[in-house]
Amino acid sequence: MRTVSPFPIESQTSPRDKAFLLAAQRLIRDAAPAYDYLEIGSFLGGSLAPFLADPACRSILSIDERGRTLADERGARFDYAGVSTQSMLDRLHQAGLPTEKLITHDGPIDTLAPPDRPFDLAFIDGEHTDQACFRDFLWALPLMKDDSAILFHDSSLVYKAVGLITLLLRKQDRPFALLKNRNSEMSAIFLGGLGQCELGRYFEAGEDCADFYAASEIAMLEHNIRNRVRIGPGAERLVSFTIEPPRAEKGYY
């Protein structure tokens, strides 16, 4: 018997990221027999595929501001021009995926007309800057059900946004749980009752958040040094360097 992959279309996610996405899908399916999915940043449609194929997924809203060269916390810009909503739809059809339940919005989330129903699950994977990720979360949050989950890809790039989001939720007195998947770029905020449910049935134990933030800070420094710092007369690339912990200095005299 031929097994059909839940990801028949190329996705910019690793095998562990994909497994996390599928585990979140199982959790949501158990919590709500018919659920609605929101995705910010769909590119070729790779991460939409398992939701398009799932009969329990009732509706999908895909938000993608197409044709941009994206700013990125790594200190480089990434060109996503050349992939349109139509080319994504063509690819989905070629893979035999039904698209009747899919609505697309070609623009940022802050230009979206209010959708007609709240979402159970959101996946934020658009522009990888803290500011854009925080914006995407701020606009997505009121669209979510009280008991819902918001996933983040490239968490190590937008770790400051993730940290600010947890602060905001704490200040709003909203019950939530944060889970950073080990050895993967996925993290998730489980809102309301979902944060209290037995997440261990679906996910392995998460990474310590302090370790995640600390490792991400070093990784972002390294990326920015490699991408932006040049030395010497011919402005050669910095090949070898170490990053020290922040030095303590006297703050006043």
Ligand X SMILES: C[S@@+](CC[C@H](N)C(=O)[O-])C[C@H]1O[C@@H](n2cnc3c(N)ncnc32)[C@H](O)[C@@H]1O
Residues that bind ligand X (CB under 6 A): 11-13, 40-44, 46-47, 63-66, 68, 70, 80, 108, 125-127, 132
Sign (positive or negative) of CA dihedral 107, 111, 114, 120 = positive
Nearer to ligand X, 28 or 40 (CB): 40
| CA separation for the pair 196, 192 (Å, rounded) | 7
Q: Compute the least distance from the CB of residue 123 to ligand X, in Å.
A: 7
Tokens of 148: 């819902």
Nearer to ligand X, 27 or 63 (CB): 63
| CA separation for the pair 222, 243 (Å, rounded) | 8
Nearer to ligand X, 27 or 132 (CB): 132
The distance of Cα 13 from the centroid of its chain, to the nearest Å, equals 10
Q: Compute the least distance from the CB of residue 204 to ligand X, in Å.
A: 21
Q: Compute the least distance from the CB of residue 114 to ligand X, in Å.
A: 17
Nearer to ligand X, 174 or 223 (CB): 223
Nearer to ligand X, 135 or 145 (CB): 135
Q: Compute the least distance from the CB of residue 121 to ligand X, in Å.
A: 14
Q: Compute the least distance from the CB of residue 14 to ligand X, in Å.
A: 10
Nearer to ligand X, 96 or 107 (CB): 107
Q: Compute the least distance from the CB of residue 187 to ligand X, in Å.
A: 15
Radius of gyration of the CA atoms of the chain, in A: 19
Q: How far is CA 83 from CA 36, 46, 64, 90, in A?
A: 25, 13, 10, 11
| CA separation for the pair 230, 160 (Å, rounded) | 26
